[in-house]
Amino acid sequence: MTDLTVLMSFPTEAPYRIDQVTNNPGLMLSLAIGQLLFAGVLSLVKAPRIWWTTAGLQLITIAVFFTLASWGTSDIARFSHHLAINPKEVLQEPAWIAIAPLITTLPYRLAFVQGLVSAGFALIPLLLAHYWRRPHWGGWWALLVVWSPLLRNFLQNGVTRQALATLLITPLLLRSAGWSHPAWLWVGIAIAGSGLSHNSLAVTAALAVVPLLTRPALLTSSKNRNALIFSVVLVVGTALLAFSHPAIQQKLNHYLFETGYYNTYGLRNEVLGLELTALIAVLLTVWRAKLNLRSMAACHDCRTLLAYTLMLGLVQLSMVTGVLAPIVSRCLDPIGLFWLLALLAWTSRHHCAWTLVPVLAVVGESFIDDRILSLEDCIGGDQFMCLPDRWPWQIKY
C-alpha cells in the first residue's frame, strides 16, 4: 500500500519535478572553465603519461558536470524515483531492469549514470585524436561533442537510455567508417549491449553503417565481408528480439500514429550557428587543401560527411514540416554525433583541424551563455541545469 501511495503521488506527466534543486551558475561555470583548462593542457603536453592523466581529469570533470547538471531533468527525476519502487513500471529494457538495484546505490542515482554516459561521449574524440596522431586536438574535440547543441537531448536533457545505446553503437560506426579498427568481437558485444539498453537499435545501427555505402572497397576483403555479415546478423537478430516485445511495439505505434509532440532542438539558433560555422570550416578546408570536386568525390570521409549532412537536413526538414517528426526528431542526436565525428575525420585527414576553432567558439558561447548563465525557474521549468541542493545521502526520493 505504501508503494502504491508513493507511485500515485508522483506526477504522471512531464515535467517530473522535484523540490530539492537549486540554481548555481557559479559552480557550473567553474566546472566548464575546468574543462577548458584541461583541453588547453592537452594541446600542450607531449608526454603520453601526462596526456592520458590530463585526459582522465577532463573526463572526470565532464562526468561531474553532467551528473549535477542532469539532476533536475524530467527523465532523470522520474527514473530515479521509480527504480527503487518498481523499475518495470517505467522500463522495458532488460539491461536497465537488471542494474536497477545497483543504480539506487549510486550518488544521485540515474544522474550519476548520465554523467558517466556524457564522459563516454567525450572519450570518443579523445581516443580518435590519439589514434589519428592529433593528441593536441583531443580536448577541444571532446568539448565540441559534449557542448554541442545537436546533442542537447542526449547530454543536456537527460535521455540516458537512448544516449547509452548510441554510445555503445559507436564502435560499429568507427569500424564501418575506417576511422579506427576495434576488434569485431568487441563491436559485436557493443551492438548487443546497445540492443539491451534501448529499443532504438535498428535505427542507430542503420545510421552507424551508413559509411559502408561510402566505402564500397571495404567489401572486397573476404575477412571484412564475413565480419560484416556477422554484425548484420547480430543487429537484425537483436532488433527482432527487441521489437517482439509488446511494450516496444506499443511505444513505436504511439510515436508513429498517436502523439503529436516532438522536440525542436534542431531548429534553434545555436544549431544553425553551428552549421554555418561548420560550412565555413568546410570551405576553408577545401581552400587550404586545394581540393576540387574530383578529389572530394574520391575521398570516402568526404562522402561520409556529405551523407550525414543530408540526413541532418532531412531531420530538420521533418521538424519544420511536422512530417513523421515525433519519431524522426529522436534521430537528431545520433545523426548529430555521427556528423560531428565525420567533420572531425575529414578536416583532420586534410590537416585542417584548425578550421573547427570557430565552430568550437560558437558552441562554447551558446553552451555557457544559454545553458549555464541563463536559466528558467528550477521548480516550475524543465531546464537541465537544476542542481541538487544537498549531498547524495540527504536526498529523499
Give domain status of residue 4, yes or no. no
Give domain status of residue 127, yes or no. yes
* Domain count across the chain: 1
Cell 532523470 belongs to which residue?
76
Q: Are 152 and 158 in contact (CB under 8 A)?
A: no
Min mean pLDDT across 17-21, 73-77, 206-210, 290-294 is at: 17-21
Q: Is the pLDDT of residue 4 over 50?
A: no
User: How big is the chain, counted in residues?
Assistant: 397
Q: Is the pLDDT of residue 379 over 80?
A: no
253-258, Cβ contacts within 8 angstroms, sequence gap of 24 or more: 255/326, 255/327, 255/330, 256/324, 256/326, 256/327
Cβ count near 53 (within 10 Å): 13
Q: Is the pLDDT of residue 200 over 90?
A: no
Give domain status of residue 373, yes or no. yes
Give domain status of residue 282, yes or no. yes
Q: Is the pLDDT of residue 354 over 60?
A: yes
Q: Within 13 A of 73's CA, how many CA atoms are on the CB side?
A: 25
Q: What is the chain's mean pLDDT, rounded?
A: 85
Which of the four pLDDT bands, split at 50, 70 and 90, describes residue 6? Answer: very low
Which of the four pLDDT bands, split at 50, 70 and 90, describes residue 394? Answer: confident
Which of the four pLDDT bands, split at 50, 70 and 90, describes residue 238? Answer: low
Q: Is 82 left (phi over 0), alpha (psi -120 to 50) or beta?
A: alpha
Give domain status of residue 397, yes or no. no
Give domain status of residue 23, yes or no. yes
Give domain status of residue 228, yes or no. yes
pLDDT of residue 339: 97
What is the domain extent for residue 33? 17-388
pLDDT of residue 324: 84
Q: Is the pTM of this model over 0.75?
A: yes
Q: How does strand 21-22 pair with strand 387-388?
A: antiparallel
Average pLDDT of span 288-304: 91
For 356-367, give the DSSP string: GHHHHHHHHHHI
Give domain status of residue 131, yes or no. yes
